[in-house]
Chain A
């Protein structure tokens, strides 16, 4: 079974610049790594596997190519975990405000 078939929502990856092609003015930590990008769209190729060079049609209908990275990519950013440093701010301030208003 191929990883993806025509019409699937996928994410591709491209290396845009090698470290040697990056401007000298950058901080060393940035200049020494690849300049890369990821784009999502619908697969144009019939059937392909992760790691293959593929073509996609982006959400505005442009055709671009790159290495297949993910099929059905998920948004996995979230609300984070409860932060004890924030949890009491509400009750502290409401208490203080309540006292002041009842004075």
Chain B
């Protein structure tokens, strides 16, 4: 068997078909369009099924906590009558400490049902730990592939912690150096083992998150007699936004504004051996957030079920320094030591609460566990060791990969609005590039309209403007 890079990559389709149990080709309509809902339905669980399956392993039904002190603190710097109520979904209460248990909970169950002996997952973050934990509970074997080290063998402390967690759950962990060849290794391991590809982007993984949106809408409704006005979601690959937004709709929470939030790491190259250790956030940042919104089908499966642009109403950016400050506030004012990466959406909530009326409700839909390697103190120690300047001041002076500025006051926390129209245009532009030479049909236009949360008219106009 040819195990060279090009040899393995040429067998990609075949390997993934076997490793997901899905014939992706069946859902292709044209080079542009595919049957998204049809693909999602290959994983035939209703929302009630999903909830029940997750409950079997103790996933879900996490507390919804109103952050009253933090809301008061934000109100002290808000215009009169402003300062919406901030609630947080304490997803750290899941077995492996993050909402990723919902994704892994459903996908590992699904893998077992399909008869796989084990699962393979490429993740340096909480998802890897969640898959390892769920595999332990379901009696499957887990192999987790992590991008951990730069070429000096210096590892991001947060990822080193994730290696430890995965091994604690009994997984085989491959600690790799920087590079997109992670995908090549994944294919090799899948071929060698015949395990299930527990990608973040398979239907079961995205469906698991629907329970989060569904559950939080119901909790808010039960407690407050109304649905949330705003739900803020940390955005990276798109699964969190997609699943949560779909779950909100399933709970009839149609008027809730869906906001994605990412840490601004613009300018850092995700495949760079040098930039790798110049960032304090390994996910939830623009390095994944923007490329995945403007072209979701760039993943380890032929078609990505996580399609953020379909569901986002607004996309905002915060700085690394803002998130560290917020993490401190959450611990000191609310007695909840979490994150920091999972506090990206909470940081945005501080800024957005000041735009809302006092009786309006914002829900931050996740927290994550914290530990050695993850804490702001360990992240900032590492940043300084890698030549990053850290100081207090105006967070607008943050420069990704160079300077982290921790705010001096809460009113300095602001979001940068990333124009969603611009993302939609880039998406159409990418679709044109990727399907060069193919003549689009009306069905394609309709697909792109749905996929970008616009209309056929809007897509036509966008195409014209790009000519």
Contact = CB atoms under 8 A, between A and B. Distances in A.
Contacts of A83: 376-377, 380-381, 390
A95 B375 CA distance: 24
A96 B411 CA distance: 13
Contacts of A41: 172
B177 A85 contact: no
Interface in B146-177: 148-149, 151, 155, 157, 160-161, 163-164, 167, 170-177
Count class of interface residues, chain A: 35 or more
B387 interface: no
A39 B172 CA distance: 8
B383 to A, nearest CB: 10
Given A22-B179, A30-B179, A60-B141, A77 B161 contact: yes
Given A23-B5, A58-B172, A77-B372, A33 B167 contact: no
Interface in B48-95: 69, 72-73, 76
Nearest to A69: B153
Nearest to B69: A97
B402 interface: no
Contact of A23 (B72, B151, B180): B180
Contacts of A75: 160, 163-164
Contacts of A77: 155, 157, 160-161, 164, 372-373, 378
Interface stretch (B213-221, B232-240, B323-331, B443-451): B323-331
A97 B170 contact: no
Contacts of A22: 5, 179, 181
Contacts of A100: 72-73, 76
Given A27-B269, A35-B177, A86-B324, A93 B380 contact: no
B226 interface: no
B382 interface: yes
Contacts of A1: none
B406 interface: yes
B391 interface: yes
Contacts of B181: 16-17, 22-23, 35
B151 A34 contact: yes
Contact of A93 (B73, B175, B379): B73
A17 B157 CA distance: 25
B151 A85 contact: no
A2 interface: no
Contact of B185 (A16, A23, A94): A16
B29 interface: no
A77 B381 CA distance: 11
A39 B149 CA distance: 13
B332 A39 contact: no
Interface in B359-386: 372-373, 375-382
A62 B172 contact: yes
Nearest to B385: A80
A30 B4 CA distance: 19
A65 B160 CA distance: 22
Interface in B319-347: 324-325, 328-329, 331-333
A30 B380 contact: no
Contact of B178 (A30, A62, A97): A30
Q: Which of A16, A77, A82, A100 has the most CB of B within 10 A?
A: A77
Nearest to B4: A21
A80 B177 contact: no
Contacts of B381: 80-81, 83
For the complex of A and B, list the 9 residue pairs with the smallest distance between their C-beta atoms, beginning with the closest: A80-B381, A80-B378, A90-B332, A77-B373, A33-B151, A80-B377, A58-B172, A77-B160, A60-B141
20 contacts: A16-B181, A21-B4, A23-B5, A26-B179, A33-B151, A35-B176, A36-B149, A37-B175, A37-B177, A38-B174, A38-B175, A62-B193, A75-B163, A75-B164, A80-B375, A86-B376, A86-B377, A89-B325, A90-B333, A100-B73
Given A35-B176, A77-B160, 11 more contacts: A16-B181, A22-B179, A35-B181, A38-B149, A39-B172, A60-B142, A60-B171, A62-B193, A85-B392, A94-B332, A100-B72
